[in-house]
C-alpha cells in the first residue's frame, strides 16, 4: 500500500478525507467498520483524545465481550474507503460538523 504524503493522524482527518475506521479484534478476528464522523463525534462529546492510537485503546471487541464477558481492548485500526457496517453510534449534527470545519481551516 502506498504511503500518503499527509498521513491520517486522527479521527477528524479521517472524516474530512471521507474514510471510515475498520477495527479488527486481535484475539478473535471480528471486524467492524465504523463511520469516522460518528467515532469523532463520540470522542468530541466525551472529551477523549482523537489520535488513532488513543482511539484504539478505548475500543472493545463486542464479540469477545458477549462470548467470554471479558473486554478485549486495542484492536487493530485502519482508515478505509469501505462503507460502515455498524451504525450504533450517532452521527454529529450537521451544524456542529460545519462549525468544526470552519474552525480548523
Is residue 43 one of the residues assigned to a domain? yes
Coil, helix or strand for 82?
coil
Instruction: Establish if 2 belongs to a structural domain.
Output: no
In this structure, what C-alpha cell is assigned to residue 103? 474552525
Q: Give 43-79 pLDDT, tens digit per residue.
A: 999 999 999 989 999 999 989 999 988 889 989 999 9
Residue 17: inside a domain, yes or no? yes
Predicted model pTM? 0.87
Sheet (strand 31-35) strand order: 31-35, 20-24, 76-80
Overall domain count for the chain? 1
Domain that holds residue 62: 11-99
Q: Flag the least confident range among 29-33, 69-73, 89-93.
A: 69-73
Q: Which has more pLDDT, 5 or 15?
A: 15
Tell me, yes or no, whether 88 lies in a domain: yes
Amino acid at each position: 500500500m502506498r504511503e500518503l504524503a499527509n498521513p491520517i493522524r486522527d479521527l477528524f482527518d479521517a472524516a474530512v478525507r471521507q474514510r471510515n475506521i475498520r477495527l479488527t479484534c486481535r484475539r478473535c478476528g471480528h471486524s467492524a467498520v465504523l463511520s469516522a464522523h460518528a467515532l469523532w463525534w463520540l470522542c468530541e462529546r466525551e472529551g477523549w483524545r482523537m489520535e488513532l492510537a488513543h482511539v484504539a485503546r478505548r475500543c472493545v471487541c463486542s464479540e469477545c465481550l458477549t462470548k467470554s464477558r471479558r473486554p478485549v481492548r486495542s484492536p487493530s485500526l485502519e482508515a478505509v474507503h469501505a462503507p460502515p457496517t455498524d451504525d450504533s453510534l450517532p452521527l454529529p449534527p450537521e451544524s456542529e460538523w460545519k462549525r468544526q470545519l470552519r474552525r480548523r481551516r
